[in-house]
Amino acid sequence: MARRKPRPAIREENERALIEAAERVFADEGFRGATTAEIARRAGVPKANLHYYFPTKDKLYRSVIERVLTAWLAAASSFDMSDDPRLALTAYIGAKMDLARSMPLATRIWSAEMMRGAPMIQDFLDTTLSEWVRSRERVVKGWIAAGRLKAIEPRFLFYMIWATTQQYANAAHEMATLNGGRPLDDKAFERAKSETIEIILRGVAAG
């Protein structure tokens, strides 16, 4: 049978440009507020071309979400870098902070998706996320049993970590306003990271 001849270079470049533009627009306007016309304009292609690569707005959105999901999983894995709660939490919180800093748009889309009830990624919540949480709850409970952490409900700790780290993407504009109109510079961000880690570590440490 005749071999298909997609042009990988062209496809990849166009899809990349479209997803990048889509991230901006979805982050700024929300799913419903984002228009395919605006995304195409920002990507520098006609709208019909966008629909050639992503038949529906839905599929484009899913592609954006998949990128975040990959990044989420990567950050999550840093929780397992150590058996010591101080090191594990330091690595995990740090990774989440860095994620919010390096992918603020994707992080905001992620948060917005959760706020809307996760209509597109319910299956992720039901499977991967549920399992990750159950498993790490056991780890945290082990630390508690070993007298290394206070007797807290692990889930509430995760909620605090998720919320606080994502805040640095979600509320970047608010933070900039409170910072004299300028976004947090790298030094301030690093300080935020280390103080966040320190507060949480002290908050949950046994003793």
Partner DNA sequence: TATAGGTTTGACCAAATGGTCAAATGGCGT
Partner DNA sequence: ACGCCATTTGACCATTTGGTCAAACCTATA
Residue 87: partners with Cβ closer than 8 Å, 6 or more residues away: 81
> In angstroms, what is the minimal distance from the CB of 110 to a second copy?
11
Q: CA 164 to CA 62: how far, in whole Å?
A: 25
Residue (59 or 138) nearer to DNA, CB = 59
> In angstroms, what is the minimal distance from the CB of 166 to a second copy?
7
Fill in the per-residue mask, 146 to 165: x = in contact with a second copy (CB under 8 A), - = not in contact: ----x-xx-xxx-xx-xxx-
# residues contacting a second copy (CB under 8 A): 53
Provide the 3-class DSSP secondary structure of residue 159.
helix
Residue (6 or 181) nearer to DNA, CB = 6
Residue 117: name its binding partner from a second copy, DNA, none (Cβ under 5 to 8 Å by kind). Answer: a second copy
Q: Which of 80, 126, 185, 190 binds a second copy (CB under 8 A)?
A: 126
Picking from 12, 196, 166, 34, the residue whose alpha carbon sits closest to that of residue 102 is: 166
By CB under 8 A, tell whether 8 contacts a second copy.
no
Window contacting DNA (CB under 7 A); options: 54-62, 117-125, 128-136, 153-161: 54-62
B/e letters for 24-63, b = 16+ CB within 10 Å, e = fewer, are bbbbeeebeebebebbbebbebeeeebeebbeebeebbeb
By CB under 7 A, tell whether 6 contacts DNA.
yes
Q: CA 156 to CA 162: how far, in whole Å?
A: 10
Q: CA 191 to CA 25: how far, in whole Å?
A: 30
Q: Which of 81, 142, 178, 183 binds a second copy (CB under 8 A)?
A: 178
Binding residues for DNA, per CB under 7 A? Answer: 2, 4-7, 10-11, 14, 34-37, 45-49, 51-53, 55-58
